[in-house]
Structures are given as structure tokens and as C-alpha cells.
Amino acid sequence: MSEFSLTQLKKGESGVISKFDSEDANTMRLKEMGLHSGVSVRLIKFAPFGDPLEIKIRGFHLSLRRAIAEKIFVIKKIKRE
Amino acid sequence: MKLHTSKTRATKAINRIKRVVILGNPNSGKTSLFNRLTGLHQKVANYPGVTVEKKAGKIRGGQVMIEDLPGTYSLLPQSEDERIVAQTVQSWRIAEHKPDAVIVVIDITNLEKNIYLALQILEWCLPTLLVFNMIDVARKKGLLFDLNVFKSRLNPDALVATSAKTGEGIEEVRNVIVQLVESKKAENQNPILLKIDDRLRPVQDLVTLIQNYRGQLNFSPLIDSLRLIASDANLEILDGLLTGPQISLIKEEVNRAREVFHYQGINYQSLEATLRYDFIENDLLPLIQKSEKFDISLSERVDHVLTHPVVGMFIFISVLGFIFNSIFSWAEYPMDIIEGAITWVGLSIAQSMQDSTFKNLIIDGVIAGVGNVIVFLPQIILLVFFLGVLEDSGYMARMSFLMDNLMNRIGLHGKSVLPLLSGFACAIPAILSSRTIEDRRDRLIVIMLIPLLSCSARLPVYTLLISAFVPHKILFGFLQLQGLVLIATYFLGLLTALFIAFIIKNIIRRENPFHFMMELPPYRLPLIRSLWWRVYDSSKLFLINAGSIILAMSVILWFLASYPVNENKNLSSTQKLEQSFAGQFGHFIEPIIEPLGFNWKIGVGLISSFAAREVLVSTFATLYNVEAHDKNETMLPLKEAMRNDRKRDETPVYTTLVALSLLVFFVYAAQCMSTFAIIRRETNSWKWPVVMLLYMNAIAYFASLIIYQGGCWLGKV
């Protein structure tokens, strides 16, 4: 099972967060919102021009820029749609 | 962190009213609940962080004052308004700053994320009421839980399930608060609401040390220790509470703990968040059961269309187009009615009163001045209404999502969309709403750009000039030329703002920005109740403005335009006006504005519009009325009077070119005293309001110069 960044998920795919590649104010806030290792995340869609992206995690929708999402690593879980 | 000691002390001394603070995540329905409880009307929004000002209201039927704090996810702040919440909470370390009770609002349909803040607040050990809001939605979603179990697990003083939308549970909340503020809580028993395991071992020595200062710090030593280790920024907590040597002692211990964490490979920066979510997952989540009926919600299906790269963009542009078009066309009828009513009032007074200076003041000063501004109320109501629908429905957040990439290219981000769009209504709330932008520099740029967007105060000026001097033509069978010019005027300001942002981006390069991240709340049907209060509040503000600043300006201008009285009967009314104080001043600045195509009357208008832009309209109304009055002419509608105005050589004062030049001047010029004042307050310096004044007026002058001189040159060619 390989690890890759959140941005490499395709629309509708889910993964489990495995690690954060950096620690700064951005990731700090994400952790306070409940993005931790072991939590499953689903990529809902990309905005026009591919940035930002929308994810669903712990039952709510969050919009993130690629620059942050690239630092979040996931393990792919199930393929949907 | 700064504590507002003197201020709070003063308020404490004056009243014995109990103080309650209300907290919650953005979109938790906190503000709706606050409105329900107090009847004090305030914005309710679906967009994260619209409640930027700390607002307070007395609870209905009780001696309790409720303070509504901005929505926040956590007590470790990233933005200005989160900082306000964090500072308020930190001030509770001092006994006299403690509120008598705290309410934490939780969106029960999204417990995992919402409960985080509640846990942080419960640890302060104040009389606390947890409100599980949106119970109606939770039932529809089939969420099952037992309030009593939650109550025994979290141990708040009270727990109530409510729906701020339907009103369910509000009465109970009110009753509970009235009881809570009278209760006395046993202190110094801060509960520990996070998972306790071996990962906390390196903190132990620091906890033991901080335990000694319990009397000064007045908070859980464990949580304080975690936060001190997490970030140096949190060391501010200690300022003013402990002595220098004590703080150095703590710093040493903090560094030692960090080393141990580092050695063990534990991330100490986010340890609090990790342990809390472990607690939430293990202890709280099992308390909620989801029923089987789980499918893709209607909200998600709607979203699929609204944020589609092609369809969504098309809808976005159509929505904006629809709003601006309807503001211009729908408002026409009520505006005609108001205009008719004002003329009628003027005529009735003219017939019923004896000639006197006072009569002139009432008709030419008050009615002409204030009346011509009130005419624009329908347009303001429509604009505020539409912006309210966008926010409350959740579509505003999607606009940010759609536009973030484009905004990013010019150095802004999606969160700038709301403040910038609000700028079309009024710069004051727009500048306040920019507090949700985390990065100070980003925020400053947005603040400097907001006044370039055509606010509703400019609309009266645009409408007057366009309806008077742009021909009433229909293009391609359905497009009104006047409407098109109006849209173009709005776009001129917007595009200029974006262009300036782009230039700034390329001048100032930044490292490590705090990136755009935003919750996308579910789509909700806007509540008529909340839309009504928005419209009511802004109409009230507009009318109060009309009744105060604009009334005063109208009276002053009437005086300046009527005095000194020249008894020479042979002078024409225009000559009399020219010799008045206003006329003299207008003539004084005429050489400066003449290259723009403006005469001395426009000069008078420009000066007076520094109070508020719409004053230009009332100034013109007053000027032309004084003139008409002296000629013994009947009051003409202002448009007509302006069209009929002639220079000495009998050519019209206003050509379409002059009107365009004036229009462009108003797009760019910084003319609003209130905006100047709010920028001074928000940036806490005189530098930025002055910069705004200089750069905007410079653009205004040169743009008008180019339009007028260019137009004249083209006319000759």
C-alpha cells in the first residue's frame, strides 16, 4: 500500500490520512478541525482550474488550497463511483 | 495578551447586570440563537466568520446581558476575530473579568468538529450551558442520542437541545441562563477533557512547576503546560500575571519538555488537538448513533451543479448580473412613488406657509436635500436583501471556492470575495468583515481596495447622472443602455481594484502565507426572519444618516448657497448663487477642476460629498432649487434642472462627456469620512487612511482628466 498526497486522489475517491509533511499554522488549524492520521477523507471535487479542492472529513466539507493539500499524505482506501 | 482591565472595571461598577458570553463555531447558529434570546438584531450568516464585531444585547425579560463573540474553531487564534475570542477567554484568569455564565453553541449535526471548542471552554470551569443546536436537522438526518448521557460525560451545568430556526428549546435556554447566573460554582476543579496517556509524560515536570502559580494563573496547569510547549506565541498568556524570573523558569522547563518530545518523536505542536480528538472519538462519538438512511444529501447534489467548472461559473456571473440589473429596474417604481411624494410634500408646504426665511430653509434645504437621498432607499433595500440571500444560503462560500484560484493569481484569496462584494453595499461593514482574513498583510490590501468598489452611496450619484444624460435606448431588443452603463461603472471600480492587487502582488513577495481554508457549510434556505433584520438594520442606518449628516449638510449648504443675500434686484438668480459663499468657494477651486469638465457648481458638490457621497445629489438639489426658487420657477425634478442648466454662452453645462467624467470621478474618489475613520480604527494608524485618500483621489483626478480631455479631442478630430 503506497502513500501519496491528498491532491493525487481522484474526484470521489477516499483515503486515510497517514501523515503531514510539515508543521505550521496551516496544518495546526487543520488538526484542530480534526484532520489527523487515521481519519478517512474523501475528495469531493476540484474548483475550476484545479485549485482549491473540496474534501469531506468527519461529516463536513472543507475547501483547501493545493499548496496545503500536497503536504497531507493518505493511503487509498476504496474506489467509489 | 492584553487585558481590557480599566474598561471592564468601569462597566462592572456601573451596573449589577449579570454578564453572559456566547461562543461557538462559525455556522453553528450562534448568532441566530443570540437574536432569538435578545431580540437585538444582528447578521446571521452561513459564511464562516461574519460575526466580526462583539455585540451585546439584554436577554428578553431578565437582567442578563449577553455578549456575542465571533465564531471560532479554537482558542488558538489565526485571524483577527479569533484573536478577539482568545483574548476574551484568556481574560477570565482574572476574577473580575469572569462572566457569570458561558453558553457554547454546538451544531449537533457536526458534533466532532463543534465539540472541540466546547471542551476548551468547559475546562475554564465557569457556569456553562451547552446548546445542541439544529436539533431539527439532526432528527431529519436520523441522528440518535441521549442528552442525559452527554450531560454525565461532559458535566456542563446545563445542556439544552434547540433549533434557532424553529424556536424549539429557546424558552428553556432563557430559563436556564437566568438560573445559571445566580449559581455559584466550586472553583479550582478544572475538568480534563482530553485523552490522558503516556504521551503526556514529558509535560509532567512543567505541570508541577506551574502548579505553584495556580493562584495567579487560575487555570488548568496541564492545559497551560501543553499550550506553552506547543508554541512560543502562547507565552503571552503569562505576561502581567507572573514575574520575569518566574517566566524564565517556565521557559527553561518548556525547552526541556520540547527536547524530550523531540527525542520521542511526538509532535508537541498539535498534541492538544491530537489528544482531544482521541477523547472525542473514544468517549463522545459512540454516544451518537446514525440511522441507516444515509445517502448523498440534497445539498451535495445542488453543490454539484453550482460549483461546476462551466455551469457553475456561468451561474455565478448570471447571479451577479441579475442582481445588478434588478437593482436598477425593480427599484424604478417605488422610487417614482417616493419622488412624487416628496414633490407633493414640498408643494403642500409651499402653499400652506407664509413666505419667510424659514420656509425657504424647509423647502430648499430640508425637503430638497433629504428627500433626494431618501429616493434611493429601494435600491439599498434590494442590494442588502440580495447580499443577505447569498450569505445565508451558503452560496457566498461557494463563490469564494469558485473564485479562489483567480483571486490567488492576483495575490488575494477566496475569503476576500465576501469583503469585496460587501464593498458594493457599504465599505464600513465590508472592512469589518475583512477581519476573517488571517494574514494581516492580505487583510490590509483588501481594506485598501474595498473603497474602490462602488458602494450603495455612489448609486444615487450614478443613477442621477445616468438617467439624466445617458439616452434611454434598448440594444439588441432587451438590453437597456442605461443599465449597461451602470454595470460598466461597477466593473470599472472592480477591475481597477483587481489590477492594483495584481501590481501589489508583484511588488511584495511573501514567504509562508497562511493559506485559504474554509468550511463549506451545507446549503440552507435563508430565513425570512434574518433577511428582514438585515434589511431593517441597513435601512434604519441609511435613514438615520439621511436624518442627521445629510440633513445637517443640506441645511449648511442651503445657508452657504443663500447667503450673503444680495439685494440687487437686477441680478439673475444664477448670478446671486455665484456670489453666495458656496458659489465663491466653487469658483475658488474651479481652475483645478475645470480640465475635468467640471464647473463651480460641481465643485461645491464635490466638496460637500466628502461627508458622504450621496450628499452630492442633495447638494445639487439644494443648489438648483435655490436657483429655481429665485426665478420663481416651480420645483423641477433634479434631472430636468440639470439638463436645463446653461453656461453664460447658453451651451449646456452638462454634456454626456461631463457626466461621464463626473461618473468616473465618483468611481475612484475617496470621499467618505466614515470609511476614513474605520480604516484609521482597523489599521490603528493614520498612515493607511491617508494613503487611501491620496491614491484614490489621484486616480480619480487623472482618470477624469483623460476621459474629458480625450473626449474633447476626439470630438474635434
Whether B9 is covered by a domain: the verdict is yes
**Cβ pair A31:B273 closer than 8 A:** yes
Could you tell me which residue, B552 or B44, shows the higher pLDDT?
B552
Average pLDDT of the residues in B215-228: 91
Question: Which distant-in-sequence residues (6+ apart) come within 8 Å of B214 by Cβ?
Answer: B188, B221
Residue B566 lies in a domain: no
B414–A contact, CB cutoff 8 A: yes
Q: Where are the domains of chain A?
A: 3-76
Kindly state the average pLDDT of the residues B62-82.
83
Q: What is the DSSP letter of B646?
A: B
Asked if B214 and B148 sit in the same domain, the reply is no
Model pLDDT, residue B47: 32
List of chain B residues whose C-beta atoms are within 8 Å of the C-beta of residue A34: 112-113, 116, 277, 280
Helix (H) or strand (E) holding B268: none
Question: Model confidence at B4, in pLDDT bands (50, 70, 90)?
Answer: very low
Question: Region B218-238: what's the mean pLDDT?
Answer: 90
* Amino acid B51: pLDDT: 37
Give the number of other CB atoms < 10 A from CB of residue A9: 20
Cβ within 8 Å of A, B 574-613: none
User: Considering the domain boundaries, does residue B711 fall inside one?
Assistant: no
Q: Which residues pair with A3 in a beta bridge?
A: A75
The DSSP letter of residue B672 is -
Residues B114, B175 within the same domain: yes
Give yes or no for A60 touching B (CB within 8 A): yes
Which of B110, B404, B523 would you mutate first to test chain A, the one with the most A CBs within 10 A?
B404
DSSP B401-454: HHHHHHHHHTT--GGGHHHHHHTTT-HHHHHHHGGG-SSHHHHHHHHHHGGGS-
B169 and B227 belong to one structural domain: no
Q: Which of B110, B313, B438 sits opposite A60 (nearest CB)?
A: B110
Q: Residues B517, B518, B520, CA angle at the centre, nearest 5°?
A: 145
Any domain includes B283: yes
B274, B290, B306 — which closes off a domain?
B290
Q: What is the pLDDT of residues B109-127, one digit of tens each?
A: 888 889 999 999 999 989 9
Q: Is A29 on the interface with B (CB under 8 A)?
A: yes
For testing the chain B interface, which of A57, A63, A66, A68 should be mutated: the one with the most B CBs within 10 Å?
A63
Residues B127 and B218 in one domain: no
Q: Where are the alpha helices (DSSP H) in B40-169?
A: 80-90, 111-122, 135-141, 147-154
B602-to-B208, B590, B616 alpha-carbon distances in Å: 74, 9, 8
Chosen for mutation from B72, B78, B83, B113 (greatest number of chain A CBs closer than 10 Å) is B113
- Among the residue ranges B22-36, B145-159, B415-429, the one predicted with the least confidence is B415-429
Mean confidence (pLDDT) of chain A: 86
Q: Residue B242 sits in which domain range? A: 198-290
- CB-based contact, A61 to chain B, within 8 Å: yes
Q: Which of B13, B100, B106, B29 is nearest to B65 (CA)?
A: B100
Q: Among the CATH numbers 3.40.50.720, 2.30.30.90, 2.130.10.30, 1.10.1660.10, which is that of A3-76?
A: 2.30.30.90
Tens digits of residue pLDDT in B29-49: 887 888 888 875 444 433 333
Find out whether B437 and B477 touch, Cβ atoms under 8 Å: no
What is the 3-state composition of chain B as percent helix, strand, coil, each rounded to the nearest 5?
65, 5, 30
Closest-CA distance of chain A to residue B641, Å: 50
Q: What percent of chain B has pLDDT over 90?
A: 22
Within this chain, do residues B39 and B115 fall inside the same structural domain, yes or no? yes
pLDDT interval class at B705 (50, 70, 90): very high
How far CA B620 is from CA of B82, B406, B602, B608, in Å, comes to 45, 41, 8, 10
The C-alpha atoms of residue B60 and residue B65 are separated, in whole angstroms, by: 10
Residue of chain B nearest A37, judged by CA positions: B274
Asked whether residue B175 falls in the same domain as residue B242, the answer is: no
Residue B75 lies in a domain: yes
More confident residue, B209 or B52: B209
Which of B693, B379, B681, B672 has the alpha carbon at shortest distance from B545? Answer: B672
Question: Which among B244, B264, B290 is the end of a domain?
Answer: B290
pLDDT of amino acid B12: 46
> Are B150 and B203 members of one domain?
no
- Do both B170 and B278 map to the same domain? no
The whole-number pLDDT of residue B635 equals 60
Query: DSSP label at B645?
Result: -
For residue B514, what is its C-alpha cell?
A: 497562511
- pLDDT tens, residue by residue, B488-530: 998 999 999 999 998 888 887 665 566 668 888 888 888 887 7
Residues B90 and B57 both lie in one domain: yes
Please indicate whether, in this complex, the C-beta atoms of B273 and A64 are within 8 angstroms of each other. Answer: no
- Of the listed ranges B223-237, B268-282, B344-358, B554-568, the one predicted with least confidence: B554-568
Q: Does B110 touch chain A (CB under 8 A)?
A: yes
Position B215 pLDDT exceeds 80:
yes
Give how far A1 is from chain B: nearest CA, Å: 23
Nearest residue of A to residue B399, measured between CA atoms: A47
Instruction: Check CB contact under 8 Å for A29 and B405.
Output: no
State the Cα torsion B507-B508-B514-B517 to the nearest 10°: -20
A10 in contact with B at a CB cutoff of 8 Å?
no
- Which of the four pLDDT bands, split at 50, 70 and 90, describes residue A81? very low
Give B320 or B61, the one with higher predicted confidence: B320
Compute the mean pLDDT over every residue in chain B, rounded to the nearest whole number. 81
Among B75, B402, B439, B515, most A C-beta atoms within 10 A, so best to mutate, is B515
Identify the weakest region by mean pLDDT among A76-80, B624-628, B666-670. Answer: A76-80
- Pairs from B584-588 (Cβ < 8 Å, separation ≥ 24): B585/B560
Where does a domain end: B248, B275, B290? B290
Query: Do B73 and A68 count as a contact with CB atoms less than 8 A apart?
Result: no
CA dihedral of B518, B520, B524, B526, whole degrees rounded to 10: 30
Cβ–Cβ contact B402 with A under 8 A:
yes
Percent with pLDDT over 70 in chain B:
86
Chain B interface disruption, residue of A60, A64, A68, most B CBs within 10 A? A60
CATH number, domain of B87, equals 3.40.50.300
Chain A contact for B335, CB < 8 A? no
Confidence category of residue A42, pLDDT binned at 50, 70, 90: very high
As beta bridge partners, residue A55 has A43, A62
pLDDT over 80 (residue B20):
yes
Q: Are residues B111 and B137 part of one domain? A: yes
Residue B65 within a domain: yes
Total domains present in chain B: 2
Q: Do both B127 and B252 map to the same domain?
A: no
Nearest CB among A26, A31, A32 relative to B515 is that of A26
For B405, the closest of A28, A49, A58 (CB atoms) is A49
Q: How far apart are CA B418 and CA A33, in angstroms?
A: 22
Give the number of beta-carbon pairs within 8 Å between A and B. 110
Q: Are residues B61 and B146 in the same domain?
A: yes
User: Does any domain span residue B110?
Assistant: yes
Q: Is residue B207 part of a domain?
A: yes
Neighbours of B630 (CB within 10 A): 18
